């Protein structure tokens, strides 16, 4: 691009702060400048709090006006037209037609009470002036273009009837309906399985080429960026740290923070004893490319079995007609052995049954067949009274700590409640002392005891959830996508914590995830699931080195590997 060429989107010295209260403000962007040329994909990369999503929302005009302070010297220009200060109606018309956005969580963006056809058609009627018949015909074309199977039937489906990947495709169809010149994609694949993620990335890349539109792609996953971006902008703490072509940023990163981001993520080729975090690189404690001590993983015949699962099955029934029922087999004939002090990784796409296995072992779902022998006792066959003592021995860490922590309880109350229920500790003072000790054990300050969950970051909330599990002194932890929504550095901290706890207490983990790099790092053995059944089980290194099943091969082939 020559100096005379005007970029499609130009952001100059963007400074934004948010009002905390009457007397305080918090700076979110501190003079951010970047360009998005026409017919180009630019990636905005950084951890939570870096300002990347605030930048995109500022472009779209979606920041709350009552709490947002924009510096008068800031400039955002689209095709030479200044956006800041544009009247609301003009901004809305522009952002609905020429600039479109895909959000991270489609179910927060799609209205659950309207069909997907109505919602896409509404965009066409509003911005393109189409009548109902023309809008429906165009909606069918859009659903087919984004790869929705059987568009004639899915057009009348509600968002809740679609899978996560299909919901995201509907969001993309809605975004491209008016043929925008700029598409902003804000973490559009973060919660998706690796194969669905690859499909969505390929779809965005294809649409960008065919429609010759510009794409501003926002993510914290640098491995993903290398497969789609022409240019990369790295942000931290509201500032741009580095900018360049994807080849430059990946091949010869200039900023220490960029180098740290590139090396924090678990690698398929190495398994260090501890994952380095961002601060390790910035402080010079670890040099990029340095050879770190490695951890050996795997199982052997002498490992003492702690949990032996045989032919586990779980079905759900839906009503069909007035009196009929239809059976859906979510899990069928699943068998595995979990050794004491070892980690079993469970991988597979959404709907494969991996989470159902975990919830069934905890009896949050009732098994419809099979057995789960814990030290010789069958958890499946026990009565509720017999299972009561086992509740504390098998605990679960959920994916979303926002939903699993009571917002009305302080952290202290969250930790004390399960100890009271299970009679752990002789008295309240002993329980409180244990709770404070566990907070320190998961890397949180003593002051956290009296604070509420909303006062913590996502990674800190996940640490609180882990501390709550540890109050039960469990022997098995089921980790259900427990690090998948975290930034690479926070993810590394939580994985290090889980590893430390396993080393210290001999915990056994069932680690459920769609992130195959993370599973390879932390697992001794990996079980691959598809359509409710097990297709392959092997030691982690052996499975990744030489997968036997075609489905396993397809999962491994979909892992983003950067440039």
Q: Rounded to whole angstroms, what are the CA distances from 51 to 28, 32, 205?
A: 6, 9, 24
Which three-class secondary structure state does DSSP give residue 143? helix
Among 472, 395, 404, 392, which residue's Cα sits nearest to residue 435? 472
Among 146, 538, 139, which residue's Cα sits nearest to residue 344? 538
For residue 355, count other CB atoms closer than 10 A to its CB.
Answer: 22
- 9-254 and 309-558 share one CATH topology? yes
The CATH superfamily assigned to 9-254 is: P-loop containing nucleotide triphosphate hydrolases (3.40.50.300)
User: How much is the pLDDT for 563?
Assistant: 53
Q: Note the pTM of the prediction, 2 decimals.
A: 0.82
**CATH architecture of structural domain 309-558:** 3-Layer(aba) Sandwich (3.40)
User: Roughly what angle, to the nearest 10 degrees, separates helices 428-441 and 411-421?
Assistant: 120
User: How much is the pLDDT for 288?
Assistant: 63
Kindly give the confidence (pLDDT) of every residue in the chain, 563 residues in length, as a single tens digit, with 9 standing for 90 and above. Answer: 444 478 999 999 999 999 988 888 989 999 999 999 999 999 999 887 889 989 999 999 999 988 899 999 999 999 999 999 899 888 888 887 899 999 877 777 899 999 999 999 999 998 899 999 999 999 999 999 998 888 999 999 999 888 777 888 899 999 999 999 999 998 888 767 788 888 888 889 999 999 999 999 998 877 788 888 999 999 999 999 999 999 999 889 999 898 888 877 788 888 988 888 888 888 878 776 667 888 989 999 889 899 999 999 999 887 777 777 888 899 999 999 999 999 999 999 877 889 899 999 999 999 999 999 998 899 999 999 999 989 989 999 887 777 789 999 999 999 999 999 988 988 999 999 999 999 988 888 899 999 998 888 777 888 899 999 989 889 999 999 888 767 777 788 889 889 998 998 899 999 998 888 899 999 999 999 998 999 999 999 999 999 999 999 999 988 876 65
Residues in the chain: 563
The tokens describing 233, both together, are 């902008």
Which residue matches tokens 């580095």? 242
Euclidean distance between CA atoms 388 and 405, whole angstroms: 22
Domain boundaries, the chain: 9-254, 255-296, 309-558
User: Rounded to 5 degrees, what angle do the CA atoms 315, 319, 320 make?
Assistant: 115
């Amino acid at each position: 691009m020559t100096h005379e060429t005007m970029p499609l989107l130009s952001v100059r010295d963007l400074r934004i702060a948010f009002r905390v209260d009457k007397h305080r403000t918090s700076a979110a962007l501190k003079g951010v400048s970047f360009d998005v040329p026409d017919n180009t994909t630019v990636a905005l990369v950084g951890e939570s709090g870096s300002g990347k999503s605030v930048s995109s929302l500022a472009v779209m005009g979606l920041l709350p006006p009552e709490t947002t302070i924009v510096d008068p010297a800031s400039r955002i220009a689209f095709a030479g037209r200044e956006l800041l200060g544009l009247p609301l109606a003009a901004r809305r018309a522009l952002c609905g037609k020429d600039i479109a956005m895909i959000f991270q969580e489609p179910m927060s963006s799609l209205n659950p009470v309207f069909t997907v056809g109505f919602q896409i058609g509404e965009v066409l009627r509003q911005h393109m002036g189409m009548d109902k018949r023309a809008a429906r015909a165009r909606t069918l074309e859009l659903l087919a273009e984004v790869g929705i199977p059987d568009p004639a039937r899915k057009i009348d489906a509600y968002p809740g009837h679609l899978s996560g990947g299909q919901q995201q495709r509907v969001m993309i169809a809605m975004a491209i309906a008016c043929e925008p010149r700029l598409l902003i994609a804000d973490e559009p694949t973060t919660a998706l399985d690796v194969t669905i993620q690859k499909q969505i990335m390929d779809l965005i890349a294809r649409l960008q080429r065919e429609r010759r539109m510009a794409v501003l792609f926002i993510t914290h996953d640098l491995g993903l960026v290398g497969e789609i971006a022409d240019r990369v902008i790295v942000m931290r703490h509201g500032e741009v740290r580095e900018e360049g072509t994807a080849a430059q940023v990946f091949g010869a990163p200039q900023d220490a923070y960029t180098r740290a981001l590139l090396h924090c993520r678990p690698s398929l080729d190495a398994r260090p004893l501890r994952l380095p975090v961002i601060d390790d690189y910035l402080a010079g404690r670890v040099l990029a490319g340095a050879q770190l001590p490695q951890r050996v993983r795997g199982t052997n015949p002498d490992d003492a079995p702690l949990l032996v699962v045989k032919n586990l099955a779980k079905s759900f029934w839906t009503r069909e007609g007035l009196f009929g029922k239809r059976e859906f087999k979510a899990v069928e004939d699943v068998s595995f052995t979990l050794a004491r002090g070892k980690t079993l990784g469970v991988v597979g796409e959404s709907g494969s049954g991996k989470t159902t296995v975990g919830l069934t072992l905890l009896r949050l779902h009732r098994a419809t067949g099979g057995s789960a022998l814990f030290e010789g006792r069958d958890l499946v066959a026990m009565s509720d009274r017999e299972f009561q003592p086992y509740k504390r021995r098998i605990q679960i860490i959920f994916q979303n700590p926002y939903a699993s922590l009571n917002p009305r309880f302080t952290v202290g109350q969250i930790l004390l409640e399960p100890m009271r229920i299970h009679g752990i500790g002789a008295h309240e003072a002993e329980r409180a002392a244990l709770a404070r000790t566990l907070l320190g054990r998961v890397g949180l300050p003593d002051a956290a005891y009296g604070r509420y969950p909303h006062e913590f970051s996502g990674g800190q909330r996940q640490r609180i959830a882990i501390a709550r599990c540890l109050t039960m002194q469990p022997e098995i932890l089921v980790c259900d996508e427990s690090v998948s929504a975290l930034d690479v550095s926070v993810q590394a901290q939580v994985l290090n914590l889980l590893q430390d706890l396993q080393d210290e207490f001999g915990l056994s983990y069932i680690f459920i995830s769609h992130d195959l790099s993370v599973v390879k790092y932390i697992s001794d053995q990996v079980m691959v699931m598809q359509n409710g059944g097990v297709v392959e089980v092997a030691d982690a290194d052996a499975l990744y080195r030489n997968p036997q099943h075609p489905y396993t091969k397809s999962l491994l082939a979909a892992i983003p590997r950067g440039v």
